A and B are shown apart, each in its own frame.
Chain A
């Protein structure tokens, strides 16, 4: 392992651990699938997709406290001063490789997690107008409330579309203006290191990752049962 690391780290530095990358691309695929299955009225699969997204969210929040430094909220959720300073530097064509999320992107992460959590939450309580198909928690609210949740579920999707659009635009901006390929970094986990740069390697615990995955799956499963285990 250390031999392989030595030969491949030349000129690159690791910024994303494997679970974060898996989280990112699974989320992309599942959001697309959720949209598609929703359009097809394939509610059985739409629900499953939603539970999987819930598990991803739980894992991501857990990893935000237990993961490597680039995954931790404490490292990338920055104050207004840092964000403003970063925004002012955006016009410069000089790439300034961030060790993970930049101060502005950090807030984009928070916004996306929040909006997707709202989306899942609304879906869990939602019911269609016929009372036939519903989320597993709809049983805890009235029919009117679950219809309101369904309306919200539809409205919040626009928020997700807006944030995804902004995200893709930002990635394109970095590629064209700053000549930084963020997509490749999210696939390989590595970015080019700058001359003379010394960045510590990412450290994370596979045991903690496993704990997070078990926690996420267990919670999503309990929610999918509506907390009714009969």
Chain B
């Protein structure tokens, strides 16, 4: 075996090992990091659901089935979110997050905001079920208000 051949084989072996190590690391992400990525994906889902409602409001017509589905997504995902801020899932989780330390230093206030959001999201399901654009518009503002007030207090401004 020539020198260059054995060198390239060694390089191949090393890169294979590197790939194996990094992929194990990815699989074995800490629970805190998993919480961060899960809740971020959930927030995206909620943003998408908000947009469905917003688009219907600006078109002036509510398509009931879609609106109800979006509202249910908001309520159900909100309930999941409340459990996705375990201790240590702030900046120390090692994943980029906009979650401010105040979430954990002022936990009662944060939980209160979450509850307020869930309550308004539940009312959104009711409003969507009426199929009435005014009802949906008013409740959209109420839901959005709880999002905004919590973000103001507990999310970094980017």
Contacts and interface: CB of A to CB of B under 8 A. Distances in A.
Contacts of B8: none
A143 B144 CA distance: 16
B50 A132 contact: yes
A134 B54 contact: yes
Given A143-B48, A143-B51, A146-B51, A129 B43 contact: yes
A228 B44 CA distance: 26
Contacts, number: 48
B49 interface: yes
Which interface residue of A131, A143, A228 has the most chain B CB atoms within 10 A? A131
B4 interface: no
Q: Which secondary structure dominates where chain B touches chain A? A: helix
A139 B55 contact: yes
Which interface residue of B49, B51, B58, B144 has the most chain A CB atoms within 10 A? B51
B147 A130 contact: yes
A125 to B, nearest CB: 12
B55 A130 contact: no
Contacts of A130: 43, 46-47, 50, 144, 147-148, 151
A153 to B, nearest CB: 13
B58 A131 contact: no
Interface string A121-132: 000000101111
A146 B58 CA distance: 16
B59 A129 contact: no
B30 to A, nearest CB: 24
Contact of A131 (B54, B59, B60, B61): B54
Contacts of B59: 139, 228, 230
A100 interface: no
A131 B48 contact: yes
A149 interface: no
A146 B50 CA distance: 13
B54 to A, nearest CB: 6
Interface of B: 43-44, 46-51, 54-55, 58-61, 144, 147-148, 151
For the complex of A and B, list the 3 residue pairs with the smallest distance between their C-beta atoms, beginning with the closest.
Answer: A131-B50, A230-B60, A131-B47
